[in-house]
A = this chain, B = another copy of it.
Amino acid sequence: MKTMQIVGYKSSGKTTLTTRLIELLSARSVRVASLKHHGHGGVPLGLEETDSEKHRQAGALIAGVEGAGVLQLSNHHAWRMEQMVAIYKLLHIEVLMMEGFKTYDYDKIVLIRDNEDLHLLEQLTHIKAVITPLNLNQSSYPFPIFKREEIEAFNNWFISFLKL
């Protein structure tokens, strides 16, 4: 399974790009999936007071509830990225698009909004491409830099990078 992270600060266009790349892969019949971090804190999805919450409190390491195509798994501990990635592999996913989780060491596309975001290019690992409105000097960076409007060039790079 191949993985690609789409990272950047809030309102940098992560969801728009991730959605577009999922569409691109899906149109090529690639088995694509996504994973996103819910950053708002607390139990995110209406799970409190449900029966599966009773199971969790009774000591279930994983309390799951399934319905209408959704499987919600409450972990007694925090989810580890390796566990989540292993689940996607198990489901025979070919490309996992991860939106966010920027401190992890998977291949990354970084969205840079302005000069204040540039430090990400120093801090993050495994950067494989950057999309930005800034006029960065390509020769200063070991990864390709795209403008937002260079959609076709970026898509071509992406498909080629994934060897699809």
Where the two chains meet, the residues of A that have a C-beta atom closer than 8 Å to any C-beta of B are 15, 18-20, 22-23, 25-27, 31-47, 51-52, 54-55, 58-79, 83-84, 86-88, 90-91, 93, 97, 99
Q: Shortest beta-carbon distance, A26 to chain B, in Å?
A: 3
CA of A46 to CA of B66 in the docked complex: distance in angstroms? 13
| Chain B hits for A27, CB < 8 A | 59
A40 CB contacts on chain B under 8 angstroms? 67
**In the complex, are the beta carbons of A36 and B62 less than 8 A apart?**
no
Neighbouring B residues of A51 by C-beta, 8 Å? 15, 36, 99
Copies of chain A in the complex: 2
On whether A58 and B93 interact (CB within 8 A), knowing A33-B64, A41-B68, the answer reads no
- Residues of B within 8 Å of A23, CB to CB, are 58-59
Contact A26 B73 (CB under 8 A): no
What is the chain B residue whose CB lies nearest that of A86?
A: B90
